[in-house]
Amino acid sequence: ATERTLSIIKPDATRRNLTGKINARFEEAGLRIVAQKRVQLTKAQAEQFYSVHKERSFFGELVAFMISGPVVVQVLEGEGAVARNREIMGATNPANAAPGTIRADFAESVEANSVHGSDSAENAAIEIAYFFAGSEIVG
Ligand code: CMP
């Protein structure tokens, strides 16, 4: 079925001017960018977005990294978009990411791993609503 997923191009990637190269990966994989904006997250926004991880040892560093520069938040649409995006991103840790994936090719570390993608359709709906009004998504 056609699905939507929330994607974030992280500060390590915007800093290295990789937005276009990463967007090309999505489009070449058949995903359509149906909403997109470049934003500087506040600490409160990053903490809320990643609140599921708040007990993890890396939470403070994760939040600090995510506010270290601009991010591009986007909605990707396509057949099985949640799983498709996870395939093309590759594993969270670029050391484990398959060749040809975004993280294998661009990520610097498990923290500076270039992209975030929703891990389920249920979380995608929550994450999309966190950043976008319905009227900002044009399929
Ligand atoms: P993301 O998909 O955005 O979701 C949570 C993020 O935490 C993850 O990608 C990683 O970039 C980040 N992170 C930082 N350190 C770790 C770690 N040790 N284990 C897992 N995720 C980590």
Residue-wise pLDDT tens digits, 29-61: 999 999 999 999 999 999 999 999 999 999 999
pLDDT tens digits along 3-31: 999 999 999 999 999 999 999 999 999 99
Radius of gyration, alpha carbons of the chain: 14
pLDDT at 109: 98
Phi, psi angles (nearest 5°) of residue 9: -90, 115
Q: Which residues of 63-87 are buried (b: 16+ CB within 10 A; e: fewer)?
A: bebbbbeebbbbbbbbebbbebbbe
pLDDT at 1: 93
Q: Is 10 among the annotated ligand-binding positions?
A: yes
CA distance 113 to 62: 11
Q: Which of 4, 25, 84, 116 is catalytic?
A: 116
ipTM of the complex as predicted: 0.94
